[in-house]
Amino acid sequence: MSILFYKRPEYVLKRNGPLAECKRRGGTAQDCSTAAIPLELSFENVVCNKCLSPCSLQDFLNYLTYVTHDAENLQFYLWMVDYFQRFRNAPKTEKMLSPKWKPNDPRSTSRTTDRTEKPLFGSREIDLHSEDVSNGSTWEDQSEFTDDYTQTMNSLKFSISPVRHHAAAGSMQWQASPQMQPFRAEINRIVTHYISPGSPRQLNLSHNDRATVLRALEYTTHPSALTLVKRMLDSTLRNQSHPNFVRWAICNGNKEWTIGLRVFAIMNITTGFVIAIVLTLSKASRWWRILAALEWWFGLTNIIAASQGLCILLHRMHSRQHHAWETRSYTVEDDEATLKGLDISFIQYESTRSKWPVKMEVFGPANNYSGEPWVSQYSQRPWYRKLFDKRIPVHETGLKQIQNRMIRQAEAWALIITIPLTIGFVAIPNGNLY
């Protein structure tokens, strides 16, 4: 990859309105690594928790919670992957009680009151386990999880802790049958927690999509009933949330620090011009004007890197400033050893309850952080204290490689601008004014 033409991931605009399939220029739903995102930071590695801070799975969830405010997409997606595997491993006698969902089958739509709505999928069946969501193979055709992504996801264990029933005023009453189907109680709780209107972690589904999913889950607990949601969440997380998360993770300083860095860089560039002009008007040898090149190069390097949200000083220190929601008790060494998942058979997110501000639980409170202590505390902090926020070590090598490439690119562009500028000032005759 050329140093001079590297560009960090472009920001993918969030679609206004309900969830829908998200397409990204230059990529497809299964394209997890583009020229701007190395394989080390691919969607699979992030979701499977193979990346270290600040690109771990918990960091991804924090980003969706505090920055984009759609963490329920990831929470529900992780549950779906786990649920698909558990349903596959269920006894055949139980799975026979939950037939496959076919929108155009009259038997599967007999319980709904709205029978005039056209099915959204037609007669095509979608492979729920394939990364290519457009694959037309049936769900039962895939006998095993063969790719590294699904195998790793299968090792993740999620908390299915009890949760109080959240009843919102005016929310619809949803009751499914028959109750003998496998995982029926869990599906009922999923509906009241993510699907039904007024649920604590309500997915942003359109009216028609919500009605389709509710009708499917009322009929069966087969994973095919979640095909619509799976397809939309997979494309949205891959093609929008993930590239935006990598772009956000590259920035290692907060807003105040970045502004201060740009002011410092402009001061260096201005100092270089002052040195060059003073020496040009003097009787000193013109070769002394080369000293201005050091200020120009240093200032241009920093301002080019700062335009991408990257601080060279923090990068050289292998650290970043902590985010407002990260508590002071946060330690990467302790938590990453627990969450990395390399030397343990499964990840138990309940063990992180005392340390992480956002718990990765299937059934938990709404993703509303307004009541967390840091909100009022951080808003009351003066700007000069935010400028020197606490630093946290950066351990993800894939992210460091991106930052190294961006710094080398900034240095190269600064050199390209500095050389002709220096030659121009050296070529000017002495002013001999003093």
- Which pLDDT does position 141 carry in this prediction? 34
Average pLDDT for 353-360: 49
The pTM of this model reads 0.76
- Which pLDDT does position 5 carry in this prediction? 65
For residue 423, give Cα distances in angstroms to 265, 268, 281, 420, 428.
Answer: 21, 19, 16, 5, 9
Average pLDDT for 238-254: 92
| DSSP per-residue codes, 350-384 | GGGTTT-SS--BSS---S--TTSHHHHHHHTS-HH
What is the tens place of the pLDDT at every residue in 391-418? 889 999 989 989 999 999 999 999 999 9
Per the CB < 8 A criterion, the answer to whether 193 and 79 are in contact is no
- Which pLDDT does position 24 carry in this prediction? 59
Mean pLDDT of the chain: 75
Residue 80 in this model has a pLDDT that exceeds 70: yes
Note if the bond before 18 is cis, omega within 30 degrees. no
- Which pLDDT does position 385 carry in this prediction? 82
Task: Determine the straight-line distance between the first and last CA of the chain, rounded to whole angstroms.
Answer: 50
Percentage of the chain exceeding pLDDT 70: 70
- Which pLDDT does position 25 carry in this prediction? 53
User: Strand 156-157 to strand 391-393: parallel, antiparallel, or no bridges (unpaired)?
Assistant: unpaired
| Other CB atoms within 10 A of residue 3 CB | 15
Confidence band (pLDDT; 50, 70, 90) for 175? low
What is the tens place of the pLDDT at every residue in 82-129? 899 899 999 999 888 889 988 776 555 554 434 333 333 333 333 333
Higher pLDDT, 254 or 106: 254
Higher pLDDT, 33 or 74: 74
Q: What gap in Å lies between CA 215 and CA 225, rounded to an integer? A: 9
Per the CB < 8 A criterion, the answer to whether 233 and 21 are in contact is no
Percentage of the chain exceeding pLDDT 90: 37
